[in-house]
Amino acid sequence: MSLSDKTGPVSVTPNERGTMIFASIPSPSQGVWNIGPVPIRAYALCILAGIAVATWWTQRRWAARGGDPEDILDIVFWAVPFGIVGGRLYHLITDPELYFAPGKQPIRALYIWDGGLGIWGAVALGAVGALIGCRRRGIRLSDFADAAAPGLVLAQAIGRWGNYFNQELYGGPTTLPWALQIDPAHRPIDTPTIGLYQPTFLYESLWDIGVAILLVWAGRRFALRGGRLFALYVAAYTVGRSWVEALRIDHANHFLGLRLNDWTSLIVFLAAVAFLVLRRPRPGDPEPEEPTGPAPADEDTPQTAASS
């Protein structure tokens, strides 16, 4: 039997027929809309929507702690460009052959709208931008990081839908009821004809939403301060990323049998857990202060909770 999708036939076996007809996630009809000569890309819209939501939520959390919401806008002004550059650099460093191998087009290294932003590069260099913004406003970076953590992981959940519109970063073939349809032009060369794959973008998006809920609960229940809430975000996110990464079949360089992103997640996870343990309150420690404004004049230089 052959079912027709928008770009060509999709062959299925009798055992797969019911799943194909009654349950699967369709691929998007398009990911780019042209307004005159200007292309509007769904990938970019998802990234921008995530940034907007994260900024709004961080402002609310900062204001609830007695801070000035305008502080967050100034910090975001520095953190976002640094984060985008860092995310792209991480992608280029870990997968250079996609752009600089013989026969490739190096100019495409600049095409961030095609996808390819590594989260750990974005977090690492974004932290540098945030540090600049925090210094300008006289704020401890650790306080900002704690306020931003839930919004940051929710932004990742929203941004993952950009991968859906680009039809990229999916998992292996599957006949699960929630399988994702991928058009022939976006499938691997050695793909089976069924065209149904694990929707890893959806798995990670749902995991990220769960991490955001965890952070809100843990922040209230345990009053995590001094970068510890941000460290919990890092640890929880990397756990989910590790099993999602194991399902993906897109191109990736490997080291000792694991994808490079798996090694990065493992190292960052261990660093985050170590930070949580070493910075845990001890008997006799003073109660942590609420971050209500600029750090005292004799405060040490702000610290990040984790980077990669």
Q: Which pLDDT score, from 0 to 100, does residue 225 have?
A: 92
The answer to whether residue 284 sits within a structural domain is no
What is the three-class DSSP state of 32? strand
Q: DSSP H helical segments within 95-180, as ranges?
A: 97-100, 119-137, 141-166
Pairing of strands 196-197, 9-11: unpaired
- pLDDT, position 42: 95
b/e code 96-114 from CB counts within 10 Å (16+ = b): eeebeeeeeeeeebeebbe
Can you tell me whether residue 204 is helix, strand or coil?
Answer: helix
Q: Copy the structure tokens of residue 295.
A: 């750090």
Asked if residue 227 lies in contact with residue 217, where contact means CB atoms within 8 angstroms, the answer is no
- pLDDT value for 298: 35
Question: pLDDT tens for residues 225-262?
Answer: 999 999 999 999 999 999 999 999 887 888 888 888 88
Q: Please report the pLDDT score of residue 252 as a whole number.
A: 82
- Please enumerate in sequence order all residues whose Cβ is within 8 A of that of 65, keeping only pairs 6 or more positions apart, or say none: 147, 290, 291, 292
3 state DSSP class of 166? helix
**242, 246, 251, 255: CA torsion to nearest 10:** 70
The type of residue at 83 is G
Residue 185 maps to a domain: yes
| Overall number of domains in the chain | 1
Distance CA 87, CA 66 (A): 32
| Amino acid identity at 191 | T
Q: What is the predicted pLDDT for the residue at 256?
A: 84
User: 138 in the Ramachandran plot: left (φ > 0), alpha (ψ -120 to 50) or beta?
Assistant: left
For the chain, residues with pLDDT lower than 70 are 1-22, 190-193, 282-308
Give the structural domain span for 78: 33-278
Residue 91, domain member (yes or no): yes
Within a domain: 288: no
How does DSSP assign 38-70, residue by residue? EEEEHHHHHHHHHHHHHHHHHHHHHHHTT--HH
Question: Do residues 181 and 203 touch, judged by C-beta distance below 8 A?
Answer: no
> In the block, which residue shows the tokens 């769904």?
42
Residue 71 lies in a domain: yes
d(CA 166, CA 195): 15
**Is 2 in a helix, a strand, or coil?**
strand
> Considering the domain boundaries, does residue 164 fall inside one?
yes
The sign of the torsion formed by the CA atoms of 152, 249, 24, 190 equals positive
Q: How many of the other CB atoms lie within 10 Å of CB of 298?
A: 5
Other residues' Cβ atoms within 10 Å of the Cβ of residue 66: 10
Q: What is the pLDDT of residue 112?
A: 86
Residue 22 resides in a domain: no
Residue 61: inside a domain = yes
Cα–Cα distance, 131 to 153 (Å, whole number): 19
